[in-house]
Structure 1
Amino acid sequence: MRRGIHSQATVVAAVALLALTACSTDSSIEESPGAGGESPAASESSSAPSTEWFDQAVYDTQSEQRSATFEGDPAQPWLQYIDGEMTDTADLAADGAQKVCFSNASISNPWRQTGWITMNEQLKELQDSGVVSEMETRDAQDDDNTQIADIDYFIAEGGCDAFIISPNSTAAMTPAVERACETGKPVVVFDRGVETDCATTFIHPIGGFAWGIDTAEFLSENLEQGNKVVALRILPGVDVLEQRWAAAEKIFGENGIEAVDYFTGADPTEIKKIISDELAKGDVHGVWMDAGDGAVAAIEAFEDAGADLPVMTGEDEMSFLRKWEETGLTGLAPVYSNFQWRTPLLALEKVFAGEEIPTEWVLPQVPITEAERADFIAENEGMPDGHYAKFGGNDLPGYPQVWQERTIP
């Protein structure tokens, strides 16, 4: 029995308003509000119990996958995968350049913008080699109904040789993905999952529980029982984000770490206020984030208060890496591998050639440690603060200019 596409994700209980990773506070990066035209409002400590998002079996699987052996060349992590069930695509082989239709949730934040640039540079290579004729793209701007209409448009148009879908949310997109599958054309789902196993492959990094385990274990190892951690969360209802916190909350509890969590709405002003208020109550020893947005604002709040800098986890966004290096704080940069944006097109290259591909294509998800930080900063010299260190596009046309200039196709 084939594993379902949603096997790594809990069903989303609320529509995801933003992407899985953070928005940058860097003014050089174009940002858009969430669904409905409004940014998610910041709020005080969350009230929804994280137990509704906790799945012990998935937690255990992702914990083990952090140390798994990945097939493929480590120099090309976007093509690596964990050995498992493979899909035979011989009946999907095609001659000549093929048209790809891409239904994208959005490019509403720098993580998605970085990936979108990388994806388009990968597309140029495949067009030059005669694999892809064009990629027609529709951007749903973080709206479920828009994305459903986009997918149905592609199906009705009838000119797509293959579909790539980055779902805005899990449950709402499932019927539309199934309709795409019913065309008999290859369907690649990536980033977030849906509640069907009909797609040719589902591509994603290990997942939210792995992020939560990496970060909470790091903080617990560098803190003492009874120390206080402030958890800064972007918004509720996004499966991978909720899983990050569910794993972290479990580990903090097991290690006697006092953790309080807040939804910030990705607002640096609100982040500073939260940290300042908590510092007024007493010492804050650690900061945990479910995405890197606002990491610099959090650090600046400690600096403004003249307080000792915390042990902290951020993300591989350049703003955090640079501030981490500047301050010398004890830190870790978890990743939700941005290079995954290359993989869907490369998967279709294999499909058009009739090669087998992983049914569930699990990509490496390795945090950046202090020992590696300087190398990643050097490798990404000249990139804006909203760029992601593990974007995986160093070998693509246009490097480094299109990423430096944020040339959004």
Structure 2
Amino acid sequence: MKKSKWIAMLVGGAMICSLAACGGQSSSAPASTAAPTEKTADTTAAEAGDTTEAAADAAAEDKGEGKGYVIGFSNSYNGNTYRQAMEGYLKEAAEELQKTGEVSEVIFAESNQNNSTQVQQIENFILQGVDAIIIDPGSATALNGAIQEASDAGIPCIIINDGPVSSEAELCYQINFDTIAQMGYLTEYVCEAIGGKGNIIELRGTAGSEFDNIAHEGVLKVLEKYPDIKVVAEIYTDWTGSKAQSELASVLPTLDKVDGVVTQGGDSYAAVQAFQSAGLDLPIIGGDNRGYFLKWWANEAPEGYDTVSVSSNPWDGATGLYVAVDILDGKDVPKEMIHPFGIVTKDEVKDYADVADEAICCPTFDRDWVRENLYK
């Protein structure tokens, strides 16, 4: 089984975890064909209530147990492979918890990067009477009112992936990445690889998202140590390859030599393609643990190509569901948790020569791991 090195950035330690997410899968998201039934959050409260109760009663009858929890999931965006993988892992965890009768249904909603729409969807979940809401937020502040409404109604909100949010609601729980450490590690590597001087491009995510804001802060903190490195372009890509490639195609002809590229994810291989299409020398491009990039690096990159690949872990979708159920069960769950991220080095990339194009190569865990590692 393939292995991936994990580096605890704040303490400098390392451990080895199995790469279940990378082993020859045909898609970045795990397969999910049965439960839970997907819905939109735009159904009326009455319709949702009828459907929810029927599903819960059916689950109870099948299992001979009490009704399972109904969970809402509000995703600010699912238009890239990372978000799709995150939803896939959440569905896998939901299927597991449906078999035990702990969850009867997960209702999915996606706001397409519209904060007002996401607020409405969260409010719809409240009207439907869901037991908990998992939220991948599009803003650090825009959802605070809706989160407070949910908390006042006794509905826990679990923030994942693109937090933190600034809500002070009593029932707001947050599962975040140490994004400053993650982006700091990648940026430092690129800066050292280009000899501490030169021009770099920073590929950012979605404008206004808190993950992007914090990731940018991590880049800037490192660049303070490298006064001879200049950021010649900042490009928002929405963490998608198509946008990254088109934006780079328009920017590259206007720039002098580019020595390095720092990325947040979903756009590293697109950067490779953009430089190749422009006929330019290939800079040091920080990787993003996507199959496209890792396969290129392992099989096609110039011999000895020196970089590193880093990514947030989409398995936090499953983490969010496990945490939601534990909160509803009355377990002692901390309000703030840090989820680890994954790193692939030049010594390990050969292990990824045959991964699926859209795989997100990060370790997967299980429920016990969540309890043992995040509830501290």
TM-score, normalised with respect to structure 2: 0.72
State whether residues 236 and 263 of structure 1, in contact with CA within 8 Å, keep that contact through their aligned partners in structure 2.
no
Q: 1:246 to 1:126 in 2, by over 3 A?
A: same
- Aligned-residue Cα RMSD (Å) equals 3.1
CA distance in 2, matches of 1:95, 1:68: 46
Cα-to-partner distance string for 1:351-400 (whole Å, 9 max, x where unaligned):
3443212221111123221222233455xx3x3x33311263899xxxxx
Match for 1:167 among 137, 144, 149?
Answer: 137
CA distance in 2, matches of 1:269, 1:69: 39
CA distance in 1, matches of 2:330, 2:366: 28
Match of 2:358 in 1: 386
The aligned amino acid for 2:217 is A
Residue 244 of structure 2 is aligned to residue 270 of structure 1: no
Match for 1:314 among 287, 295, 319?
Answer: 287
The aligned amino acid for 2:86 is G
State whether residues 324 and 331 of structure 1, in contact with CA within 8 Å, keep that contact through their aligned partners in structure 2.
no
Match of 1:339 in 2: 315
Match for 1:186 among 147, 156, 165?
Answer: 156
CA distance in 2, matches of 1:247, 1:358: 25
Cα-to-partner distance string for 1:17-39 (whole Å, 9 max, x where unaligned):
xxxxxxxxxxxxxxxxxxxxxxx
Match of 1:67 in 2: 11
Cα displacement (A) at 1:213? 0.8
Cα displacement (A) at 1:315? 0.7
Cα displacement (A) at 1:343? 0.5
State whether residues 173 and 336 of structure 2, in contact with CA within 8 Å, keep that contact through their aligned partners in structure 1.
yes
Residue 340 of structure 2 is aligned to residue 369 of structure 1: no
Equivalent residue of 2:77, what SS?
coil
CA distance in 2, matches of 1:131, 1:220: 48
CA distance in 1, matches of 2:74, 2:306: 40
Uncovered stretches (5+) of structure 1, i.e. residues with no partner: 1-62, 79-93, 396-409
State whether residues 70 and 105 of structure 2, in contact with CA within 8 Å, keep that contact through their aligned partners in structure 1.
yes
Match for 1:145 among 116, 127, 131?
Answer: 116
State whether residues 77 and 364 of structure 1, in contact with CA within 8 Å, keep that contact through their aligned partners in structure 2.
no
CA distance in 2, matches of 1:314, 1:75: 20
State whether residues 292 and 314 of structure 1, in contact with CA within 8 Å, keep that contact through their aligned partners in structure 2.
no
Q: Percent identity?
A: 23
Cα-to-partner distance string for 1:44-94 (whole Å, 9 max, x where unaligned):
xxxxxxxxxxxxxxxxxxx99533779x9966999xxxxxxxxxxxxxxx9
The aligned amino acid for 1:134 is E
CA distance in 1, matches of 2:334, 2:16: 15
The aligned amino acid for 1:348 is A
Greater Cα shift, 338-347 or 261-270: 261-270
State whether residues 144 and 168 of structure 1, in contact with CA within 8 Å, keep that contact through their aligned partners in structure 2.
yes
Cα-to-partner distance string for 1:69-121 (whole Å, 9 max, x where unaligned):
79x9966999xxxxxxxxxxxxxxx9652221222223122211111111111
Equivalent residue of 2:347, what SS?
helix
Residue 188 of structure 2 is aligned to residue 244 of structure 1: no
CA distance in 1, matches of 2:343, 2:234: 23
State whether residues 272 and 300 of structure 1, in contact with CA within 8 Å, keep that contact through their aligned partners in structure 2.
no
CA distance in 2, matches of 1:359, 1:346: 14
Cα displacement (A) at 1:320? 1.3
Q: 1:302 to 1:394 in 2, by over 3 A?
A: farther
Match of 1:350 in 2: 326
CA distance in 1, matches of 2:210, 2:218: 12
Cα-to-partner distance string for 1:198-253 (whole Å, 9 max, x where unaligned):
2352112222x223211121012212243222223345322222332233234234
The aligned amino acid for 1:390 is C
The aligned amino acid for 2:197 is G
Cα-to-partner distance string for 1:317-344 (whole Å, 9 max, x where unaligned):
1111122222142221111111111101
Cα-to-partner distance string for 1:176-211 (whole Å, 9 max, x where unaligned):
00110111233322222322232352112222x223
CA distance in 1, matches of 2:131, 2:190: 47
CA distance in 1, matches of 2:71, 2:236: 37
Equivalent residue of 1:389, what SS?
coil
Cα displacement (A) at 1:264? 4.8
Cα displacement (A) at 1:276? 4.1
Uncovered stretches (5+) of structure 2, i.e. residues with no partner: 1-6, 22-64, 238-242, 368-376
Residue 171 of structure 2 is aligned to residue 199 of structure 1: yes
The aligned amino acid for 1:101 is G
Counterparts of residues 18-167 of structure 1 (less than 5 Å): 66-67=10-11, 96-158=67-129, 160-167=130-137
State whether residues 66 and 206 of structure 1, in contact with CA within 8 Å, keep that contact through their aligned partners in structure 2.
no
Counterparts of residues 259-298 of structure 1 (less than 5 Å): 259-265=231-237, 266-278=243-255, 281=256, 283-293=257-267, 295-298=268-271
CA distance in 2, matches of 1:139, 1:303: 35
Q: 1:305 to 1:193 in 2, by over 3 A?
A: closer
Q: 1:231 to 1:173 in 2, by over 3 A?
A: same
Structure of greater relative contact order (alpha carbons < 8 Å, 6+ residues apart): 1
State whether residues 189 and 199 of structure 1, in contact with CA within 8 Å, keep that contact through their aligned partners in structure 2.
no
Cα-to-partner distance string for 1:131-171 (whole Å, 9 max, x where unaligned):
1011122222222222211222222233x222222222121
Cα displacement (A) at 1:125? 0.6
